[in-house]
Structure 1
Amino acid sequence: MHGKGLSKKKSFFYSASLLVFLCIGLVAAAQAGPAHNLVVLFTHDMHSNLDEYAVPSGDDKVVITGGYARLSTAIRNERKGKEGDTLVVDAGDFSMGTLFHTIRSTYALELVAMGMMGYDATTFGNREFEFGPGPLAHCLLSAKSHGKGGLPAIIASNTVVDSHAPELASFHKAYTGYPVVLYKIIKRAGLKIGLFGLMGKDASIYAPEAQPVKFSDSVDAARAMVDLLRNKEKVNMVVCLSHCGTWPDKNISEDEILAKAVPGIDVIVSGHTHTILDSYIRVGNSYVVSSGCYGGHLGRLELTKNPDGSFKAVDYRIIPITSALSKDQQISGLIDSFKKEIDEEYLSYFNYHYGQPLAHSAFSLAFPDWSREERSQCLISGLGDLVTDAFIYAVKNKEGKDYQDISLAIEGWGQIRVPLAKGTLTVDDTFRLMALGLGQDGLAGSSLVTFRLTGSEIKSLLELEATLAPVKEDMRLQISGMRFSYDPKAPPFARVKKVEVEKANGKLEPLKDTRLYRVCTNWKTLAMRDTLKALTGGKIVFIPKDETGKPIADIQTTRVFADAKKSLELKEWLAVAMYVQSFPLGDKGLAEVPLKYSLPQTNITKLK
């Protein structure tokens, strides 16, 4: 897909943003005198959620939250009267998660809007590399072209780009042209502040598409940055924009480990794990802070300087971005003006348009919220059941008379991104639900794939749930077509016990180790099979096979097509859209989601 010239309407918004940026810059430049309290406003893991969205609330209601137009108002409210004392930063994964990222390469709306909102800096998260270095290069170039009102600095201190690698020539040019920097010095509140940015170990595992871009050890990089900033640049404060994350298990909580290993960091804005820290974490003199994902909250940390040069928190708040906040009309207009571009450049391929109603649900299809550490307390979800049932339905629909039975549809929780709030379900809701991946057809969205595995390979694959999920929640599985139980007390990778295959007549039969079964999953899971093998020390291994049991040499042939003549893949989100549209009409004049999905099916059992 190719970029287009900006309309007069869009030119207005970009020109207006220049005036906003200049005003912000003049105020910040006017600061002088002794140091006063510094306010750090922060976000992370916004994942292209420019538009507001609906979320289920605990009292069976729906709350409209987020959206850059209201986030911009919240930032403006917090800055008012103290512009020269306020730092606005983001800790990465600013892209990938909604239909707006489908036009990221041509318009870079995420970065342009952040510039208009007054962000000083951000860093790369793993999702920035979701489409690979090439499309990210286009994004950086587009940002430079369209961000006339200024852009946030991108700080990447452990991202390694080989300037001599021919395959990275265009990326390196865009990287240095933006420019992406190792660190940045900003003066606020009478302080000289040094900022640097990190990609964490866990995050880098989820960025296989970044190759041949690499990421050095985050702790080693942090030590080097702190030494440079403290001893060469002589800064008063060090702020790390970290895409490393925190976990309940302190032994693997990367940003807490970082703070302990590198004591010269004053503030760590912690992204990647989508965590909301209602109270900051204090490690020595370091403050670790997190505000959750999708732009649903704005974090605020206010610090005062102690006589010994360290800093003391005098205020810490997580501010909800709710409908009670007015919308910044400039940002709102920018967002609305690009919905037509999404239709033309992406949704038109699938005969949909932005905001198109698909179905109605009388109940919310909830999903465990990993920002509140709920995932470890839940095995399966009704929403996850709907997703894997949709896979089977959509493949059967597209293959028609050539359809061969799928014995197992499988999806990892890391691919299911959000809950679905009750009410009208739209095409943008289904895309946001299954937003990740780039198809081999060049279009956003991971495609469905099918292949055969032996029963023993399937049993090995199910150890993702039984062995890995207790320590990595996004490894949890949703399945359709089979049922299994596992013993959490058994040795690792030997926990899956009874596995049964559900036949078309509803009867169950035992899984047979040597028999071939047709499996349906997504392209990303298939593409990460070598990563899974390495992560598990060779304990989880599966080789895609054809119907004869022969290993598939070209995994491109595993893809399922929505339109084979156009080489248009059947995307995960499209499967869900097709499935919910297939339900019988309800009294709202739309297909009605069946009540059975309000509760999870009993296809995974944890033995006591």
Structure 2
Amino acid sequence: MASGSFRSLLFCILGVLLLLLQPIYLPGSRAIGETPGKAMTILFTHDLHDHFLPAKLEQDGVIINYGGYARLKSAIDAEKMKNPAALVLDAGDFSMGTPFQTLFQSDAPELRTMGQMGYDVVTLGNHEYDYRAAGLAGSLNAARQSRDPLPQIVQSNVTYPANPDGSLPPSLEDLKEAARDYGIKEYMLIDRGGFRIGVFGLMGKEAASNAPMSGVKFVDQLENAGRIVKLLKQQENADLIVCLSHSGTWAERSQSEDESLAQKVPEIDVIISGHTHTSLDRPVISGRTIIASSGDSCKNLGVINISQVSDGTWQLESYRLQQIDDRLPEDGHISGIVDHYRQQVQAKYFDRFDLKYDQVLAAAPFSFQPVDQIINQHAEATLGNLISDAYIYAVMQAEGANYVPVDASIVPVGTIRGSFYAGAITAADAFSASSLGTGADQMPGYPLITVYLTGKELKAACEVDASVSPMMRDAQLFMSGVNFNFNPNRLPFNRVVQTSLQRPDGTVEEINDGKLYRVAAGLYSAQMLSVVGEKSHGLLSLVPKTRDGIPITDFEAHIVNDTTGGNNREVKEWLALARYLQSFAQADGVAQVPQYYNETHGRKVVDNSRHLLALISNPNGIALTAYAGVIVLVTLMAIIIKVAVRKKI
């Protein structure tokens, strides 16, 4: 018995020793026994969104300042002191998000400043197309003509759709020429630190859908990545392959485009993943591919240290996100550049509206929710209430004595780009909160338009928020003039259980399905209503109309213009917000944001009840059709079972 126990113990010890002698692989580490070769450092950002200057952020109830390119430059320099051969890369959306974007087309401050900061290679994100093909072409030309040092741009899956006769539309011809003159390539080869490094850029599917006015088309990123990687491996003999992907990662892996990219094209060594504003404290390791994200708006500089092992593959040595905050000194040279561009923003843009960059419009005794929290929380948001109310106010002010009452306004969450914190709210803050796009006047900022929707379509808009936004987060809507309740546990497209109109005097009335209601929205938001049908598989339909009920084809013809006081200019989304903030009652000469906007008011009520009655009561036509289908199916199954039983008998 003792001898058997001894043999068993001996076998266990031998088994453990054999296991210890096997190669052990941990995510992001070398296998035991592998010898590291030379190392490489990659410094990276993405989704900088024109955050030239530090911005505010509330953490644990404390308002802090983060970001700013002068601090970012100091962080880059500190890392390059340790690793002079480090690559500096960006995965797109370096523009659009602050007043500095107003210089995008004319001065190209983004590319020129990134060149001064030492960026080697960048790719284009969907927001680089916000000012359409002409805007991007102008930016590329302005950058090139400046003769400043510039980063290389890589973008491998863009195409230029031709007219039926084979020619390109003039705007695309100009963009294609500007891209060629700048030197945009599908991929870039860099000899650095003894390695041959291939860097290429991609635009993801979801990101491409957010650039509907670009005029260009983007081919499938997975197929294209496979093609580029094959070239880099077989023809260019690249030692290291880095993809600057403006696609992103999500918590839901099935929607995570860059994780799919790593799985489908495993030869990519590193993916710098932009677009979704993700901040990864630890990289995602998929097979042999490292996926890295540093967050948006210049909050962090990503630092990756990798080494090549004996079989030619790369292993992660270390990874961290360097916070860009006031602990970092500001680089004097970049500070001077930023100040110069800020003066240009004032002279070329804010002066047109008789506003100063730092002019205080109002003071808030409380903070609004951060944008990320608003996006991730499907509920009424006080900032959404403020902006939607501002739209109605702005139309009323612009039309003056000719004002036709607006029944409702709609603000998609995707158009809210910044929030407000306790204290002063400036003109620059208002612009940053609603900073997207350009109008028919070619001036930065989407204008307001007014359209007409039927009561049935207003209810459908509520259902878009309730049912479509879980699939497409930018579809979450904030409305003024319309209140609704929904239950997220009900059948999709039947989640809204109650709707009503609320008039300015506080009275509430039922929505009439057949009546036309005047609705204010941003130009982009109104144009994107057609996407609703696609996402709902045709179950919901919103067709913006004229006051006579005719479907609108030219949205720019319905832009709201301010004609008071001899003016004739578009009412921009951000300007509507700015003027509304200025309209509040003052204290010590400064408008005060009322306490009303520190509370919710039942505009969007979420009922999470799972009670059977709550789930099936008040069915709409979609639900009734679904229920009827289920009843028919159950009846058929019962008949089949009954017939089968009779045959057995």
TM-score (norm: length of structure 2): 0.85
Match of 1:205 among 190, 206, 209: 209
Change in Cα spacing, 1:568 to 1:113, as seen in structure 2 (3 Å) is: same
Q: Does 1:299 align with 2:302?
A: yes
Distance in 1, Cα, partners of 2:39 & 2:228: 24
Q: Secondary structure at the match of 1:575?
A: helix
Change in Cα spacing, 1:209 to 1:233, as seen in structure 2 (3 Å) is: same
Letter in 1 for 2:569: L
Distance in 1, Cα, partners of 2:553 & 2:200: 43
Paired position in structure 1 for 2:69 = 68
Q: Secondary structure at the match of 1:421?
A: coil
Paired position in structure 1 for 2:59 = 57
Paired position in structure 2 for 1:271 = 274
After superposing on structure 2, the runs of 4+ consecutive aligned residues of structure 1 that deviate more than 4 Å are none
Letter in 1 for 2:586: L
Q: Secondary structure at the match of 2:254?
A: coil
Letter in 2 for 1:159: V
Match of 2:241 among 226, 230, 238: 238
Q: Which has the larger radius of gyration?
A: 2
Change in Cα spacing, 1:235 to 1:562, as seen in structure 2 (3 Å) is: same
Letter in 1 for 2:469: A
Match of 1:308 among 296, 307, 311: 311
Q: Does 1:182 align with 2:179?
A: no
Paired position in structure 1 for 2:17 = none
**Structure 2: where are the runs of 5+ without partners?**
1-35, 609-649
Paired position in structure 1 for 2:330 = 327
**Could you give the per-residue CA deviations for residues 232-255 of structure 1, whole angstroms, max 9, x where no partner exists?**
111111100000011111111100
Q: Secondary structure at the match of 2:255?
A: coil
CA contact (8 A) 2:399 2:563 kept: no
**Could you give the per-residue CA deviations for residues 539-558 of structure 1, whole angstroms, max 9, x where no partner exists?**
33222223343434543332
Match of 1:356 among 335, 359, 367: 359
**Could you give the per-residue CA deviations for residues 27-61 of structure 1, whole angstroms, max 9, x where no partner exists?**
xxxxxxx95221111100111111111122222x2
Paired position in structure 2 for 1:4 = none
CA contact (8 A) 2:371 2:417 kept: no
Paired position in structure 2 for 1:573 = 574
Paired position in structure 1 for 2:155 = 156
Paired position in structure 2 for 1:600 = 600
CA RMSD of aligned residues (A): 1.7
Paired position in structure 1 for 2:433 = 433
Paired position in structure 2 for 1:133 = 133
Distance in 2, Cα, partners of 1:104 & 1:151: 15
CA contact (8 A) 1:456 1:512 kept: yes
Distance in 2, Cα, partners of 1:210 & 1:283: 32
Change in Cα spacing, 1:96 to 1:511, as seen in structure 2 (3 Å) is: same
Distance in 2, Cα, partners of 1:582 & 1:147: 45
Change in Cα spacing, 1:416 to 1:308, as seen in structure 2 (3 Å) is: same
CA contact (8 A) 1:360 1:424 kept: yes
CA contact (8 A) 1:49 1:295 kept: yes
Please give the residue correspondences for 1:392-541 in structure 2 after superposition, counting only pairs within 5 Å.
392-541=392-541
Letter in 2 for 1:36: K
Name which of structure 1's ranges 564-573 and 358-367 shifts more when overlaid on structure 2: 564-573
Q: Give 1:321 shift.
A: 0.7
Q: Secondary structure at the match of 1:36?
A: strand
Percent identity between matched residues is 37
CA contact (8 A) 1:406 1:520 kept: yes
Distance in 2, Cα, partners of 1:144 & 1:433: 30
Distance in 2, Cα, partners of 1:246 & 1:471: 15
Paired position in structure 2 for 1:253 = 256
Letter in 2 for 1:196: F
Paired position in structure 1 for 2:551 = 551
Q: Give 1:497 shift.
A: 2.3
**Structure 1: where are the runs of 5+ without partners?**
1-33
Paired position in structure 2 for 1:584 = 585
Q: Secondary structure at the match of 1:171?
A: helix
CA contact (8 A) 1:244 1:254 kept: yes
Distance in 2, Cα, partners of 1:376 & 1:97: 19
Q: Give 1:113 shift.
A: 0.5
TM-score (norm: length of structure 1): 0.90
CA contact (8 A) 2:246 2:274 kept: yes
CA contact (8 A) 1:413 1:476 kept: yes
Q: Give 1:162 shift.
A: 5.4
Distance in 1, Cα, partners of 2:350 & 2:538: 40
Q: Give 1:479 shift.
A: 1.1
Letter in 2 for 1:435: S
Name which of structure 1's ranges 215-224 and 546-555 shifts more when overlaid on structure 2: 546-555
Q: Secondary structure at the match of 1:300?
A: strand
Letter in 1 for 2:353: F
Q: Give 1:529 shift.
A: 2.8
**Could you give the per-residue CA deviations for residues 246-290 of structure 1, whole angstroms, max 9, x where no partner exists?**
111111110001101110011100000011111110100001110
**Could you give the per-residue CA deviations for residues 203-240 of structure 1, whole angstroms, max 9, x where no partner exists?**
010011111x1111000011001111111111111100
CA contact (8 A) 1:35 1:191 kept: no
Q: Give 1:313 shift.
A: 1.3
Distance in 1, Cα, partners of 2:145 & 2:72: 24
